Amino acid sequence: MDFCTRVGGVVSSLNMMTGKFLFPVNLAYDYDLAWPKGLPALTEWLLPLALFGGILLLLLKRKYDAFLVSIMMLLTLLPYLNIIPLHHNDSGQMVFYDHYLLFATMLSAALLTIIMVQLEERLQTAAIISAIIISLVLSGYNYYLFRFWRDREALYNRIIQVAPGLPKGYLFLGKALNEKGRHQEAIAVLEKLFTLKNWFPTYLEAYREIGNAYAFSGHMKEAENAYRIHLNYLPKDRGSLQNLSSALMEQKKYEEARSVILAWLSYYPADHDAKHNLMLCEQMIRLNK
């Protein structure tokens, strides 16, 4: 990784952190951020520069107590700035989690208290009123967001709305729709996942899920294809082995089903479901001779 990309990643991380700290809504979605290709756009530098400018101003004004607390807040963010790139499940992505705000938020109360006691009484009143208004606005908006957490389908639809390029929203919504028996809708959602960037290989499970949706919709050939693709990447996946054998038996492809079940048993010799499926499959083979 070249120097400009490394610096760009740090600036982008700090910009995201500062923005979410100032406007704390929709915190729980975009965890995986792409490394910038070199230095980021000027707009991403504005908040980090304002942050360092404010800290420098406190030092120049000899507000040492506020300056030291500000430095402490910045120190709590350092582990999350991607200064040292961490190994991640997606190649080319930066690690970004929402709990980075914990210590900074706690310290912000001390910083605001230090600033408040140094203001004139008239400004103190204005600051308190402003803080109350901002808190009410954010609380109202967060109450609006809370309704999306009452139902899994609503939550995953909200994730897709906020971050339409994030594969996990489509995977989770597809699984939820499958569980509700709405398999045609699950197929449409999961097909959308495969059109996104950076879904592979983290979300290979989507092949098994769309296979389940096809199977419960009666489209056994499509289900078979989806399970086979999943097994190409994860040949020991028990769920796909079991479901593929069942899909093949539904299509009366008993010899192929037996081969799949034998592979299943080679990985899981004591699996009772595999033994049961093998027994059924061999009975059907004998009946069709």
For 14-47, the pLDDT digits (tens) are 998 898 888 877 665 556 667 788 899 999 999 9
* Per-residue pLDDT tens digits for 246-285: 999 999 999 999 999 999 999 999 999 999 999 999 999 9
Residue 81, in any domain of the structure: yes
Is the whole-model pTM more than 0.75? no
Q: How confident is the model at residue 179 (pLDDT cuts 50, 70, 90)?
A: very high
Residue 99's Cβ-count burial label (10 Å; 0-12, 13-18, 19+) is exposed
Residue 128 covered by a domain: no
Question: Domain range spanning residue 245?
Answer: 152-287
Give the CA dihedral 216, 217, 221, 222, nearest 10 degrees: -100
CATH number for the domain including 198?
Answer: 1.25.40.10
- C-alpha–C-alpha distance, residues 15 and 34, integer Å: 14
Q: Domain boundary residue among 59, 92, 118?
A: 118
- Same domain flag for 78 and 179: no
Same domain membership, residue 157 and residue 112: no
pLDDT for the residue numbered 86: 64
Q: 26-30: long-range contacts (C-beta < 8 A, 24 or more apart)?
A: 26/145, 26/162, 27/98, 27/101, 28/98, 29/159, 29/162, 29/163, 29/166, 29/169, 30/96, 30/162, 30/163, 30/166
Domain boundary among 68, 94, 118: 118
Between CA 27 and CA 142 the distance in angstroms is 11
Residues 6+ apart with CB under 8 A from 63: 114, 118
pLDDT category at 138 given cuts 50, 70, 90 is confident
How high is the pLDDT of residue 31?
60
Instruction: Count structural domains, the chain.
Output: 2
CA separation, residue 128 to residues 122, 138, 208, 243 (Å): 10, 15, 54, 61
> Does 205 fall in a domain?
yes
On whether both 113 and 232 belong to a single domain, the answer is no
Q: SS3 of 120, please? A: coil
Residues 280 and 165 placed together within one structural domain of the fold = yes
Helix spans in the chain (H): 3-22, 43-60, 64-77, 101-117, 121-146, 152-162, 167-179, 183-193, 205-216, 220-233, 238-250, 254-267, 272-287
Task: Note whether 240 and 190 are same-domain residues.
Answer: yes
Q: Which one, of 106, 61, 82, 103, lies nearest residue 9 by Cα?
A: 82
Cβ atoms of 193 and 170 closer than 8 Å: yes
- Structure tokens belonging to residue 191: 């097909």
In a shared domain, residues 104 and 158: no
SS3 for 95?
Answer: strand
Please report whether residue 145 resides in a domain: no
**Does any domain span residue 263?**
yes
Given 66, 94, 118, which residue is the final one in a domain? 118
